[in-house]
Structure 1
């Protein structure tokens, strides 16, 4: 840079600093902002990891319903930092986690006018969940549901809550897979069961009339199922809805660090989540695309709608999948809700955000499933 140009740049910088000094001086007198800013500037004066101060994050108000604000403000769930070491300890944690959902499900189904019938499909336990009155447009369509829960939570009917909500709000018949889980049945049991049920559905329903959805682990399994279907030469579903997918079982992605402890559901990968990843993988490489599908080939994938929240520990998992789908030329929508932690777009069944989320997913599936 010529000396004259450098001198002019320095002069402009000094003028800008002088112009900003007056309002900042007032802030400094009131709150010490200037001193704080200098400390932060010093802590981040070199390239490298960002050094953040301890801080309090307010509950968002703008554009967030009161019901959703209560969800966002809730304390961490019990057991978020559990580290079970034995089969018995895992089983105890799973039972305690499932109890509130099991207690609330009958009332939720009654309120929403939804039925649930246990079935066995291709030797795999499942539930057929559907509205009491199935809209004519959806009589030849079916959704395959893969539940969330870190591959360890949500056994039996406890895994059907999300299926109940989409059956009600979308008017779809849903087959919810009660796939086998660790510690008794680690990888690839969950994926094998999901593919077995999908393969059986293809015997009676065209792939053009099948959608696949699930949240968190269910979102990761949705992506892994499509990868397996591609590899095995099966027709692919017409559309998928992987909500905040656990697409990378390793602690990789910006939001694993930016949203750590801000997410009031998962809280941190270093809690039970990382232990569940190792338990499910059972010694396999966590970057295997059937475990962490973000490392797979998304070429030819069906249209996808993905959802997350600004505080979601899995926001980066979701964003990375969205970008990779777009790079593969796949139609993919991304919806991010203000202030929400992991999977909170259906935490409160009566919240406007829950209704909005299911309307978006139902609209997307309706647009892509054949009639």
Structure 2
């Protein structure tokens, strides 16, 4: 059901200069999208969302195309192991394996990382795990899961949705990681990471949906980053729900969010 519901947003547009299906060094399939504006310089590893338990590179093909067009970079997506069959850290380990083998996919590029929702969590966890070695050039993080505080202002305000609810997020967390380790592991709740880890991250662009239980996650992470004297970018997109960038075929705010991500990406790189 999640596959069908998310694939409906995909389409053949925007068209790419080239589309490739390749095998990664660890044997998984990757989708490569090269836009007409690709100059052969940059590439972005895009990690799909879905509560660590749903969706795939296929459900986020439309997102990858939009990101490629707006950034002018090649975008690579892939499938990682999903919970509950494969709980933390299986999905993160898969992301790290693809990152380590990225040169075999598109050699000679300057690589960045991006993700939406749980994919944004995995993208930031990847940067934290690398901790100063082989880091991406930048990170584009869309309405991410960065904490596990179900009493935050947005979790209280938007507990019943529309769309994503507090109960759904609690279920996804239960699928992914036991409660006893969530708040102490910065790869699970990066909004609580030590200052030194956050200070060492590459430049970031974050956004959050106004009508989203996860909004406070991004607000708290952005506040932490700002308090460290960093110059990261953070937008709250008014009037939209969680997952709004998957609705880019019809939703003007989604189209604008991709345009904004491209603008910030070009400035940061």
Task: Give TM-score, length-normalised by structure 2.
Answer: 0.88
Q: Which residue of 2 aligns with 1:290?
A: 187
Aligned equivalents of 1:205 and 1:282: distance in 2?
Answer: 39
Contact map agreement 1:300 1:330 (CA 8 A) in 2: no
Structure 1 runs not aligned, ≥5 long: 1-95
The Cα shift of 1:353 comes to 1.7
Number of aligned residue pairs: give it.
262
Q: Which residue of 2 aligns with 1:130?
A: 33
> Once the two structures are superposed, what CA deviation does each residue of 1:113-172 show, in whole Å capped at 9, x if it has no partner?
036433322315243332453432xx1210010111000111352243321221233332
Q: Which residue of 1 aligns with 2:3?
A: 98
> Once the two structures are superposed, what CA deviation does each residue of 1:216-247 show, in whole Å capped at 9, x if it has no partner?
101111111110010xx522211111111101
Contact map agreement 1:195 1:225 (CA 8 A) in 2: yes
Is 2:157 the counterpart of 1:258? yes
The Cα shift of 1:365 comes to 1.1
User: Which protein has the bigger strand share?
Assistant: 2
Structure 2 runs not aligned, ≥5 long: none
* 1:226-241 mapped onto 2 (5 Å cutoff): 226-230=127-131, 233-241=132-140
Aligned equivalents of 2:32 and 2:249: distance in 1?
Answer: 17
User: Which protein has the bigger helix share?
Assistant: 1
DSSP-derived class of the 1:213 partner: strand
> Once the two structures are superposed, what CA deviation does each residue of 1:1-42 show, in whole Å capped at 9, x if it has no partner?
xxxxxxxxxxxxxxxxxxxxxxxxxxxxxxxxxxxxxxxxxx
Structure number with greater CO (CA < 8 Å, separation at least 6) is 2
Contact map agreement 2:70 2:263 (CA 8 A) in 1: no
Structure 2 residue corresponding to 1:193, chosen from 77, 94, 97 = 94
DSSP-derived class of the 1:340 partner: strand
Q: Which residue of 2 aligns with 1:318?
A: 218
Distance 1:124 1:329, change over 3 A: farther
Contact map agreement 2:31 2:57 (CA 8 A) in 1: no
Distance 1:124 1:181, change over 3 A: farther
Aligned equivalents of 1:104 and 1:341: distance in 2?
Answer: 15
Is 2:242 the counterpart of 1:342? yes
Contact map agreement 1:309 1:337 (CA 8 A) in 2: yes
Contact map agreement 1:186 1:280 (CA 8 A) in 2: yes
